[in-house]
């Protein structure tokens, strides 16, 4: 699930909390687990995101990228692989007092760039703010067309039977793109090759 980013989260402002600060995007480290949990579970308490445990975030820490401003973690997001062709952008959360400072946009850009580095064909997300993702080159798709493995977290969601999130996808390599149904069929293959980082 994605946090309640505002539609204007793509607008980057020069000032953050009254002071000009550099927004640093980097891969998450183990010492970021506490602040990541604070962001995600703060939204989970409002029913906007799924809650995460320390164990879950620890296991997935290599999926996460974070944004730090003035030494404070103000945003996080994860790129979770489902096959050699497709990954999900998930656990995207921005601090309440930083939602209009372009942090959401910077996180999406970093995660999409990472997906491109792994030569993925597409990325997808489940969100309440399709307009925000639309500005980032995503388009709406039917949830049922996405890989079944993407639904594994949904079964523990309180809204599982009445989900109101919107599925969005961004094609990264049109020359290799498949239909969403083909992505779903691919995951059923006997052998699944792990994504390999492109060498430069």
Q: pLDDT tens, position by position, for the chain (200 residues)?
A: 455 454 444 434 444 444 335 788 999 999 999 999 999 999 999 988 888 999 999 999 999 999 999 889 999 999 999 888 999 999 999 999 887 678 999 999 999 999 999 999 999 998 888 899 999 999 998 876 676 555 556 555 555 555 567 889 999 988 665 555 554 444 444 333 444 445 54
Contact 90, 1 (CB under 8 A): yes
Q: Is residue 94 part of a domain?
A: yes
Q: Which domain holds residue 82?
A: 7-186
Residue 120 lies in a domain: yes
- Beta carbons of 172 and 136 less than 8 angstroms apart: no
186 vs 42: CA distance, rounded Å: 35
Flag whether 196 is in a domain: no
CATH number for position 88: 3.40.630.30
Instruction: Kindly report the pTM of this predicted structure.
Output: 0.75
- How many structural domains comprise the chain? 1
**Is the distance from CB of 15 to CB of 3 less than 8 angstroms?**
no
**What is the pLDDT at residue 161?**
52
The answer to whether position 2 is within a domain reads: no
């Amino acid at each position: 699930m994605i946090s309640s980013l505002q539609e204007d989260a793509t607008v980057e402002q020069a000032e953050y909390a009254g002071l000009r600060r550099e927004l640093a995007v980097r891969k998450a480290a183990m010492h970021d687990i506490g602040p990541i949990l604070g962001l995600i579970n703060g939204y989970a308490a409002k029913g906007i995101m799924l809650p995460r445990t320390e164990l879950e975030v620890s296991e997935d820490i290599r999926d996460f990228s974070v944004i730090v401003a003035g030494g404070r973690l103000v945003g996080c997001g994860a790129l979770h692989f489902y096959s050699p062709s497709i990954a999900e952008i998930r656990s995207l959360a921005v601090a309440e007092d930083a939602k209009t400072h372009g942090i959401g946009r910077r996180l999406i850009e970093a995660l999409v760039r990472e997906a491109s580095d792994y030569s993925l064909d597409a990325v997808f997300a489940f969100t309440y703010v399709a307009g925000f993702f639309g500005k980032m080159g995503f388009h709406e798709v039917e949830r049922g067309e996405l890989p079944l493995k993407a639904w594994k977290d949904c079964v523990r969601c309180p809204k599982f039977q009445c989900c109101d999130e919107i599925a969005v996808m961004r094609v990264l390599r049109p020359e290799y793109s498949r239909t969403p149904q083909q992505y779903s069929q691919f995951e059923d293959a006997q052998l699944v090759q792990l994504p390999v980082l492109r060498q430069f």
